[in-house]
Structure 1
Amino acid sequence: MHTDSVLCLNGQGFHRMVYRQWGSSDNDRVLVCVHGLARNGRDFDDLAKVLARDYRVICPDVVGRGSSDWLPAGVEYGISQYLNDMTALLARLGVEQVDWLGTSMGGIIGMCLAAMPQSPIRSLLINDVGTFIPSEALQRISGYLGDKRFASLDDVERFMRINYTALKNIDDRQWAHLAKHGVRELEDGQLALHYDPAIAAATAANAGEDIHLWPIWQAVTCHQALIWGEDSDILSADTVQQMQAHRPEMELLTLPGIGHAPSLMEPEQIHWVQDWLRRHQR
C-alpha cells in the first residue's frame, strides 16, 4: 500500500485529498473504491489486498474524512464538491477509464459521475444505495453522527459495534482495524471520530427530505452491479425491484439478514466482487 494525495479546489482555496494505492502503478486497469458518509478509505483494506492482483486499486478519503483535509468554514460538504474532487483524482491517475465501487455515499458519487457524457467510468458496482433514499433512514444515520469523544479504542469499537450492525459478521481483527483508523487523537488525549463534525451538521440539515436519484441513474449506461443488504433501510426491496425491472441485465447480490451497508470485508462478499469485476474487465 502506498499513500499519496491530490490537490483539489474548493470555494475558498485548495485542500488535499489523501488516497491509498494498492497494486502496481503500471497497471492500466484501475478500480476506485469510495466509502460511505462517515467512513474512510481504510474500510477497503481487506478488499484491496485481494483485488490488487488484478487492479491498481485506489481508495480515497473523501474530503473531511480520514487523513484528508477538512473544508474551510462556509464551504459546504456535498455531492458537487465530491464530484470536483474525484475529477481531480481521476486526472491524477492518468488513465482513460476506471471501474468504480462505491458504498452508500460512494455509490451516489459514482452514479453521478457515470451518468455524465463521456464519463471515464467503465463499470459501476454500487453497495447498498439506489434510486430512492427515504428521509427516515437519513435521520437514523444523522442520529449517530456528531462530535463524539472516547477515552480508548475499546470505547470506539463498542460504539461501532452498536451502530454499524451490518458489520456483525466481521471478525475481531477487522473491528479493531476499523476502530484504529476511524479516530483521531485530540490534544487532551481523548479520541474523536475521524471526520469533520460539520459533516454531521450538513447531514442533519438535509435529513428531512427523501432523496430521488432515478433520473441520474437512468442516464448511466455502463455495466452495473448492485449489492443489497436485504434489511437495509437505505435501499428498500421496492427500489431494488424497480431498478431490476428497468435494467434486468444489472447483476444483484442479495445478502439476507444484513442492513446498511454490507462490509465488503467478508470473504464471500470479496469473492463476489472479484468475480464480477473479472468478468467485466474486457
Structure 2
Amino acid sequence: MAEESFSDFYYSSTDGLKLHARVYGDGANGARPVVCLPGLTRNARDFHELALHLSHKAKRPRKVVAFDYRGRGDSAYDENWQNYNIGVEAGDILAGLVTLGIEHAAFIGRSRGGLIVHVLAAMRPALLKAIVLNDVGPVVEGEGFAHIRAYLERAPQPASFADAVALQRTTHGPAFPALTDRDWERMVRALYRDEDGKPVPDFDPALLKTITSLDLAQPLPVLWPQFQGLTGVPMLAIRGENSRLLSAATLEEMVQRHPAIETITVEGQGHVPMLETGALPARIEAFLDRAEQPA
C-alpha cells in the first residue's frame, strides 16, 4: 500500500503545541476505531504496516489513528523537556481524540504507549473498549530499563541507513533472531528520519533527560492499582520471548488478575515485538473483532 493510504492530522495541545497523528481508513462500516501509541523515542511510523492491515486488509476495516507524542516524529518539540512525561502525553492523546470526535476506541500501546494506556484508564475509563499491550505491563524491569538507557546514552550516529541497519542488528540482534533483512530495514526507517540521505533519530534529544535524570538505584514505580482499572476491558498482552522489560512472571501475574486477558509470546523477538511480523496482524485483528462482540 502506498503513502496515500493515510492522511496527516495536526491539532493543538492544551498548551498550544502543534501535534501530529496519522489517520488510516475512515471506519465507515461502524467498526470501532483503533488508537496506536508508540514507545519512548518512537513514532507513528512503527504502526504503519499494522495500520494498513487493520484499515484496509481486515475483514472489518477500521479507522486507525497512530499518534506522534510531543517531541517525536512530526509533532513539535517542547521547550520544556520536563513536559515529556506520561501524564502530559496522555492529556495530548485525549486532546487529539476530542478533536477527531472519537469517544470510544480500542488501544494498542507499545512499551511507553502501554503505560499511557494505564493513565488513560484512570483519566477517562469509558474511552477504552479493548486494549493490546505490546511488551509492557504494570511492572517495568529495572535491568531492562537500564539497558535501554545505556543504549540511548551511547548510541553512535550512523553515517548512512546501511550503517543504521548494521548498528541495530549489532545492538539488538541477539534478542531478535527471528527478524529478516526486510524487518531490520523497516525498523530503521521508522526510527530515523531522512535528512539529505543521512539517518537522524526522529525525536528531540532533550527527551533523553527524562531517563538520565532517573535514579536507577531506586525501584521503578509499579502500576498494579492502575492495572486494576483495566480488568473490566478485554485485553491482549503480547510479550517478546527475549524481553528484558516485561518478565514472564509479570505476565503471569497479569493473567491471574485480569479475568478476560489473552496472551501471546512472540518467539525470536525481545523488547519490543514488531506487530507487523508473522501472524500478529491477523491475531490482533481477530482479538479486536472478538472484543467488539456482545458478552
Question: Aligned partners of 1:65 and 1:144: how far apart in 2?
Answer: 18
Counting only pairs closer than 5 Å after superposition, residues 147-166 of structure 1 correspond to structure 2 as: 148-165=156-173, 166=175
Which residue of 180, 198, 207 maps to 2:206?
198
1:98 equivalent to 2:117? Answer: no
Which residue of 39, 42, 59 maps to 1:39?
42
Which residue of 253, 258, 261 maps to 1:250?
261
Q: Give the CA RMSD over aligned residues.
A: 2.1
Counting only pairs closer than 5 Å after superposition, residues 1-282 of structure 1 correspond to structure 2 as: 1-10=6-15, 14-24=16-26, 26=28, 28=30, 29-53=32-56, 54-116=61-123, 118-146=125-153, 148-165=156-173, 166-184=175-193, 191-206=199-214, 208=216, 209-220=219-230, 221-282=232-293
CA contact (8 A) 2:133 2:237 kept: yes
Letter in 2 for 1:194: D
Question: Aligned partners of 1:175 and 1:122: how far apart in 2?
Answer: 32
The alpha-carbon deviation at position 127 of structure 1 amounts to: 0.6
CA contact (8 A) 1:101 1:107 kept: yes
Q: 5+ residue gaps in structure 1? A: none
The alpha-carbon deviation at position 96 of structure 1 amounts to: 2.2
CA contact (8 A) 2:138 2:223 kept: yes
Question: Aligned partners of 2:28 and 2:124: how far apart in 1?
Answer: 27
Letter in 2 for 1:32: V
The C-alpha deviation readout for 1:86-144, integer Å capped at 9, x for no partner, is: 01111012122111001110111112212345431111110111111122211110111
Does 143-152 or 47-56 show the bigger shift? 143-152
The alpha-carbon deviation at position 26 of structure 1 amounts to: 4.0
CA contact (8 A) 2:33 2:106 kept: yes
The alpha-carbon deviation at position 190 of structure 1 amounts to: 5.0
The C-alpha deviation readout for 1:4-26, integer Å capped at 9, x for no partner, is: 1111134xxx2122111111264
**Higher helix share goes to which structure?**
2
Aligned length: 278
**Higher strand share goes to which structure?**
1
CA contact (8 A) 1:64 1:196 kept: yes
Determine what percentage of the aligned residue pairs are the same residue.
30
Question: Aligned partners of 1:262 and 1:181: how far apart in 2?
Answer: 14
Question: Aligned partners of 2:194 and 2:282: how far apart in 1?
Answer: 35
Q: 1:216 to 1:38 in 2, by over 3 A?
A: same
Question: Aligned partners of 1:39 and 1:134: how far apart in 2?
Answer: 20
The alpha-carbon deviation at position 62 of structure 1 amounts to: 1.3
